[in-house]
Each structure stands twice: as structure tokens, then as C-alpha cells.
């Protein structure tokens, strides 16, 4: 099932458009473009820190997203075990807090900046509006992708189901044969349900990867373009924590999607390199970077709003709701309590990181 092909196309288009428009977004020249005269602003000292950031964030991103993929060697961490459910809930809490506590507030700050014109930016809550549209668009992609690929998979098993139906009409002829046909039909239904669940996992992994990639490039760009040595060190530590645990959430989804090795490698690669790519792009633009220019505020603010809507939807609907309303957690109050604690710990830890990043 080549479900990653649309994802790769979307990521490629995003990178191309962002690379084309980003220089324009940071080349305005007005009063809001002036750099801070703070003593912490030192471009020469900031560059080595950015190089360190690229290496450390790349390594921690790879560790985070790859950890769940190696759980087959550890029986206690396999997807059907309780520990995996708890860890996935923790990672989902991190993704939820990323949307609410990091991306959404940044977008509000940017689109309500005094450097933007009163009309229309201060007359209408664009951040909430774009985030809402993004969540609806994510729902549409989620639903349509599941329906389209679901029909394709059903088309592949329709002949077998047809054979079972025809044979089922003859069940009353021979009791033994009838028992066999009923059993065979049950096997087909069970396989169909498993195929549908696997399809959901693949759609979730694809859409979540897209949202994280957009967000990762934006936060990388902000770090790469900053020359504030006082804040970069703390920011690097916060982003390493952020990328590692966000990667664990994505890695768990990739594991459940049961992709082949090549598709897993491609998704791991894109997640791992997007923040370093954003940092490198920010470094390239740092000489002309004006974080308060109207174009920069609007471009990054709208991207953050769309990313926030996607991440919040994915965390609540496809990760948390899907698991908590599923048979495994519904069948165990004790496991539910553990998972709720994990969600709160993940969301709380990431919320605390909002102080630095």
C-alpha cells in the first residue's frame, strides 16, 4: 500500500515553497525590523552553538523516533502490551502540549504583534480561525484517505467474501460443511477488521508526520536565525527533549502501521532532518533575518496556527481518543488510570518546556 507517496509529495512541496518564500519573509525594512541591541546578541559566538544544535537535535530526533521501532526485541514493549500503551499515551500528551502550549501561543503572539497593521490583523482572531480550518482539513484528509484506501483493500478481498456468501447458502445441506463455511466467513471478517485497523494506523502515521514536519522546520528556522547566545543554550536542551519524545510518539505510530523497512526509513529520515534543516535555513538567512518584520510575522504565524490545529486534532482524536475508547483500555480501569497519569506527565513536562522554548 503506497500510502507514503502523497506524504512525500506534500513534504517536498512544503520544503520548496518554504525555501522560496522564506527569504522574502525576512527582508522587510521598517521600524519593526531593528535587531535588539542586547549584549547577548553575538553572531560569531552564536554560530558554533547552532552547529552543535544541528548535531545534537539530529541525534536525539533519530533516537526518539527509532526507539519504538526496535521494541520487537523487547517483548514488554511490543504494541500489544500494556507498557506500550502507557508510553504511547505519554508521547500523545507531549504532542498535545506541543500544539496548545508551544505552537498556538507563538502564533497568537505573532499575528497580534504591534508590528502588524491594525486592520485586519488586530480586528480578527486569525490564529484561532486558521487552527480551526487546519483541524477540519486534517479531519477531511483523515476520513477521505481512510475511505479511499479502504475501498481499495476491500476490492482485493471481495472475491473471497463472495465465495463465502455463495457457499453459505449451502450450509443447511451438510452440517459439517456449514460449520466450515461459517468458520471461514468468520476468519475473513476478522482479517477484514485487522486490515481496516492497519489502514487507520497508516493514515494516522502519514498525517501526524506531515504536521510534525511543518512544525519542526518552523522551530528550527527560529533557532537558526537567532543570534541570542543567552537563550540558544536553553533552547537547544528544550528542543532535544521535545524532539526525542515527539519522535517516540511518531515512532509508535510508524511501528503500528507495519510499514516495510524502506518506508520506515524514509519517515524516520524526514522527521530527523527537518529541524536541522530549519536551523541551517535560519543560519543562511540570519544576515537578513528580521524577526519582527510584517512578512515574517504573518508567514510564520500562519504556519504555526495551521500546525497547531493539525497537532491538536491528531493528539486528541487519532491518538488519545482512539486508544482510550478502544477495547484494550475500556476493558481495564487500572490501565486507563496509568494511561491518564502518563498523558498528564507528558503534557505537563512539555508545558514546562514552554518556559524556554
Q: Is 286 exposed, middle or buried (0-12, 13-18, 19+ CB in 10 A)?
A: middle
pTM metric for this prediction:
0.72
Whole-angstrom CA distances from 193 to 2, 154, 323 are 20, 11, 16
Q: Is 15 exposed, middle or buried (0-12, 13-18, 19+ CB in 10 A)?
A: middle
The pLDDT of residue 24: 46
Cell (9 digits) for 152: 481499495
The pLDDT of residue 171: 41
pLDDT at 279 > cutoff 80: yes
pLDDT at 64 > cutoff 50: yes
CB 92 within 8 A of CB 273: no
* pLDDT tens-digit series, residues 220-258: 888 888 777 877 877 888 888 888 888 888 888 888 888
Handedness of CA 89, 90, 95, 99 (dihedral sign): positive
CB 276 within 8 A of CB 58: yes
* pLDDT tens-digit series, residues 97-153: 988 998 899 899 989 998 898 889 999 999 999 999 999 998 898 888 878 877 776
Handedness of CA 5, 302, 244, 74 (dihedral sign): negative
CA distance 139 to 260: 26
Cell (9 digits) for 81: 502490551
Amino acid at each position: 500500500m503506497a500510502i507514503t507517496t502523497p506524504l512525500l509529495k506534500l513534504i517536498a512541496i512544503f520544503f520548496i515553497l518554504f525555501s522560496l518564500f522564506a527569504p522574502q519573509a525576512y527582508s522587510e525594512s521598517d521600524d519593526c525590523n531593528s535587531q535588539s541591541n542586547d549584549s547577548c546578541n553575538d553572531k560569531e559566538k552564536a554560530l558554533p552553538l547552532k552547529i552543535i544544535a544541528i548535531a545534537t537535535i539530529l541525534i536525539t530526533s533519530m533516537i526518539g523516533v527509532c526507539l519504538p521501532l526496535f521494541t520487537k526485541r523487547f517483548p514488554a514493549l511490543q504494541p500489544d502490551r500494556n507498557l506500550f500503551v502507557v508510553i504511547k499515551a505519554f508521547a500523545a500528551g507531549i504532542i498535545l502540549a506541543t500544539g496548545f502550549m508551544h505552537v498556538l501561543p507563538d502564533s497568537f503572539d505573532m499575528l497580534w504583534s504591534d508590528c502588524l497593521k491594525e486592520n485586519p490583523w488586530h480586528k480578527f482572531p486569525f490564529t484561532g480561525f486558521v487552527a480551526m480550518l487546519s483541524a477540519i482539513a486534517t479531519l477531511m484528509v483523515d476520513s477521505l484517505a481512510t475511505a479511499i484506501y479502504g475501498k481499495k483493500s476491500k476490492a482485493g478481498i471481495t472475491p473471497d467474501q463472495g465465495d463465502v456468501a455463495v457457499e453459505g447458502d449451502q450450509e443447511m445441506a451438510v452440517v459439517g460443511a456449514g460449520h466450515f463455511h461459517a468458520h471461514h466467513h468468520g476468519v475473513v471478517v476478522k482479517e477484514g477488521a485487522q486490515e481496516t485497523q492497519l489502514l487507520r494506523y497508516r493514515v494516522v502515521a502519514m498525517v501526524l508526520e506531515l504536521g510534525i514536519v511543518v512544525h519542526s522546520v518552523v522551530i528550527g528556522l527560529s533557532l537558526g536565525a537567532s543570534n541570542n547566545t543567552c537563550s540558544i543554550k536553553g533552547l537547544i536542551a528544550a528542543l532535544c527533549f521535545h524532539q526525542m519524545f515527539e519522535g517516540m510518539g511518531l515512532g509508535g505510530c510508524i511501528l503500528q502501521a507495519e510499514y516495510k523497512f524502506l518506508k520506515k526509513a524514509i519517515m524516520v529520515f524526514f522527521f530527523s532532518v527537518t529541524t536541522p534543516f530549519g536551523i541551517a535555513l535560519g543560519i543562511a538567512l540570519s544576515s537578513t533575518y528580521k524577526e519582527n518584520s510584517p512578512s515574517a510575522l504573518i508567514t510564520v504565524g500562519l504556519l504555526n496556527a495551521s500546525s497547531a490545529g493539525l497537532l491538536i486534532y491528531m493528539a486528541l482524536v487519532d491518538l488519545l481518543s482512539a486508544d482510550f475508547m478502544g477495547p484494550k483500555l475500556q476493558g481495564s480501569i487500572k490501565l486507563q488510570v496509568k494511561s491518564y497519569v502518563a498523558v498528564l506527565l507528558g503534557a505537563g513536562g512539555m508545558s514546562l518546556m514552554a518556559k524556554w522554548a
